[in-house]
Amino acid sequence: MALLSIRELHKSYGGAPVLSGVSLDLRAGEVHALMGENGAGKSTLIRILAGVTVADRVEARLDGASLGLGTPAEADRAGFRFVHQELNIVPALSVAENIFLGHPMPRRFGAAVDWKRLNARAAEALARFGVRHIDPRAKAGRLGVGDRMLIRLASMLVGGASPARLFVLDEPTAALTHAESDRLFRVIDELARGGAAILYVSHRIDEVMALASRVTVLRDGKVALSAPTAETSRAALIRAMTGREIAEGHPPRLATPRPSVVCRLEDLSSGRLSGLRFDLRAGEVLGVVGLDNAGQSDLLRLLLGEGAPAGGRAEVAGRSLPRSPAEAWRRGIAYVPRERRKEGLMSGRTITANTVLPHLSRLSRHGLARPRREAAEARRVAERLRLRFQHLSQPVRTLSGGNQQKVVLGRATLATPRLLLLEEPTRGVDVGARQDIYAALRGLAAEGCAIVLASTDLPEVLGLADRILILRDGRQAAIVGAAGLDPSSLLALIYGDEEPVPAS
């Protein structure tokens, strides 16, 4: 018998159905993957299980007995634990307080919070994910997106009112490094072997195949497929998710890079970066790789005008480094940050406002706004990236996670930038959108845009980049041509096991 069984789940927003008649059975001891395109309804289903969103209609049974889903307290009593896609942490509280948020805190004599035990138990929970670099007493607001995810994961383990029976994780690996993901998979495996049910959302098919024993695919709010992973295939999953055939891979180059140099660094150093030395030409794609946090973000921020150069020379778009991101945007340098929701979006503003904001001076006439022109531009970008939305004046916070990401990308590419700085541009987007993004990047390169692509997805870097910059501890270790490399030889270069053949 299923631990949790869901039938006839219905939910609409403003008359538009998001989930219609969904069934789902979760068994104890089993990892069940939930897949589907951006906007398919995965997070909505999860929010309903958590009691933070109320279904229009649903029949739920726990161990065969009828279960009311409606409030977070009910979900907690049922033993459900959640790691949501939205990484809500309270910035002013400590890491340990965030880990225990909503859970009973250890207390002394049932009264005052026992801080020592609180911090020790928080550290223990983090240690299960191999995390020792986060101080439980640190303010959570200072942490980056990966560490925030680790806090939420630890929080799932410290326990609520009743013993945990179901763990639900909404795209946890989108914010994690490879090493952190591997440790998470081990913990999930342990939890399942301990008898818990796991519901796991991911866009990564390889991950799902390796981790889950069953998979359910949502398409347009309905179950398109539900099967043991052993009885399905990559192609079948893609077809179920998209309803079409998707040719995976990387579109061919449309043009070769032009001779004009867009960005030239000569022995540049700044903060922990040093020895940066390369020319980037118009239409060229430069991949940036390294171990976790080898300086990829620092390099992009430096080019965006957020770092202070300490030595060497730099020329970007014909001038020195921009002194601020605002100056960078004015000069045609666009940026897609890794921490999109934190840095990339004004969540209460509309799709149009978020898309056109840095382009307003170009879109206005004599300093006057032209709302219709703005909406037309936003619509053009939304269609190119197949954004799933109801109307352009919808606040971006009501878009699904992957669709919010498309807005950030759409904004950066609305006008062809001279230099486009991208960090993990396809994290959290579905398999079809990934191909749309690759095609859009190829198109921009053909128009002469120079692209710096920092990504931990090595096949992506190899498929798109002309040359690849390898960073090691903030230092430029090598630049190599992408042609002829495969992921394992690139990995060997990243680890420094092999000496690179320098690219011309």
Ligand X SMILES: Nc1ncnc2c1ncn2[C@@H]1O[C@H](COP(=O)(O)OP(=O)(O)OP(=O)(O)O)[C@@H](O)[C@H]1O
Q: For binding to ligand X (CB under 6 A), which residues are involved?
A: 13, 18, 36, 38-44, 85, 388, 398-403
Closer residue to ligand X in complex, CB, 42/81: 42
* 99, 151, 287 from 156: Cα distances, Å: 8, 9, 36
- Tokens describing residue 455: 């990504």
Binding at 495: pick from Mg ion, ligand X, none (beta carbon under 5-8 Å per type): none
Closer residue to ligand X in complex, CB, 58/451: 58
Q: Smallest distance, Å, CB 254 to Mg ion? A: 32
Q: Smallest distance, Å, CB 54 to ligand X? A: 12
- The count of chain residues that interact with Mg ion, using the rule CB under 5 A, is 5
Closer residue to ligand X in complex, CB, 85/98: 85
Q: Smallest distance, Å, CB 293 to ligand X? A: 25
DSSP string, 117-186: HHHHHHHHHHHTTT--SS-TTSBGGG--HHHHHHHHHHHHHH--SS---EEEEESGGGGS-HHHHHHHHH
Closer residue to Mg ion in complex, CB, 344/401: 401
Cα separation, 481 vs 261, whole angstroms: 17
Helix, strand, coil percentages, rounded to 5, for the chain: 35, 25, 40
Stretch that binds Mg ion, among 84-92, 160-168, 354-362, 433-441 (CB under 5 A): 84-92
Stretch that binds Mg ion, among 81-89, 96-104, 313-321, 403-411 (CB under 5 A): 81-89
Q: Smallest distance, Å, CB 439 to Mg ion? A: 23
Closer residue to ligand X in complex, CB, 226/293: 226
Q: Smallest distance, Å, CB 34 to Mg ion? A: 10
- Tokens describing residue 238: 């893609």
Q: Smallest distance, Å, CB 428 to ligand X? A: 7
Question: CB under 8 Å to 200, separation ≥6 — which residues?
Answer: 31, 32, 33, 34, 168, 169, 188, 208, 211, 212
Q: Smallest distance, Å, CB 33 to Mg ion? A: 14
- Tokens describing residue 336: 């897609």
Contact yes or no for 451/420 (Cβ under 8 A)? yes
Stretch that binds Mg ion, among 43-51, 62-70, 192-200, 258-266 (CB under 5 A): 43-51
Q: Please state whether beta strands 31-36 and 214-219 pair in parallel, antiparallel, or not at all (unpaired).
A: parallel
Contact yes or no for 80/166 (Cβ under 8 A)? yes
Closer residue to ligand X in complex, CB, 121/203: 203
Cα separation, 218 vs 170, whole angstroms: 14
Stretch that binds Mg ion, among 80-88, 225-233, 385-393, 418-426 (CB under 5 A): 80-88
Closer residue to ligand X in complex, CB, 40/157: 40
What is the distance in angstroms between the CA of the first residue and the CA of the last residue of the chain? 63
Binding at 268: pick from Mg ion, ligand X, none (beta carbon under 5-8 Å per type): none
Q: Smallest distance, Å, CB 397 to ligand X? A: 8
Closer residue to ligand X in complex, CB, 106/401: 401
Q: Smallest distance, Å, CB 168 to ligand X? A: 12
Check binding of 85 to Mg ion (CB under 5 A).
yes
Check binding of 44 to Mg ion (CB under 5 A).
no
Question: CB under 8 Å to 58, separation ≥6 — which residues?
Answer: 6, 7, 8, 9, 10, 48, 69
3-class secondary-structure state, position 288: strand
Residue nearest to ligand X according to CB distances in the complex? 402
Residue closest to 463 by CA, chosen among 483, 444, 446: 483
Binding at 232: pick from Mg ion, ligand X, none (beta carbon under 5-8 Å per type): none
Q: Smallest distance, Å, CB 21 to ligand X? A: 15
Check binding of 43 to Mg ion (CB under 5 A).
yes
Residue closest to 127 by CA, chosen among 99, 103, 106: 99
Q: Smallest distance, Å, CB 409 to Mg ion? A: 17
Residue carrying the six token digits 């930038």: 417
Binding mask 387-426 for Mg ion (x = CB under 5 A): -------------xx-------------------------
Closer residue to ligand X in complex, CB, 18/276: 18
* 79, 364, 460 from 334: Cα distances, Å: 45, 19, 20
Binding at 403: pick from ligand X, Mg ion, none (beta carbon under 5-8 Å per type): ligand X
Q: In sequence order, what E strands does 271-395 have? A: 273-281, 285-290, 311-316, 333-336
Closer residue to ligand X in complex, CB, 134/149: 149
Binding at 18: pick from Mg ion, ligand X, none (beta carbon under 5-8 Å per type): ligand X
Q: In what order do the strands lie in the sheet with 311-316?
A: 311-316, 261-270, 273-281, 475-481, 467-472, 285-290, 450-454, 419-423, 333-336
Binding at 149: pick from ligand X, Mg ion, none (beta carbon under 5-8 Å per type): none
Check binding of 221 to Mg ion (CB under 5 A).
no
Q: Site residues (CB under 5 A) for Mg ion?
A: 42-43, 85, 400-401
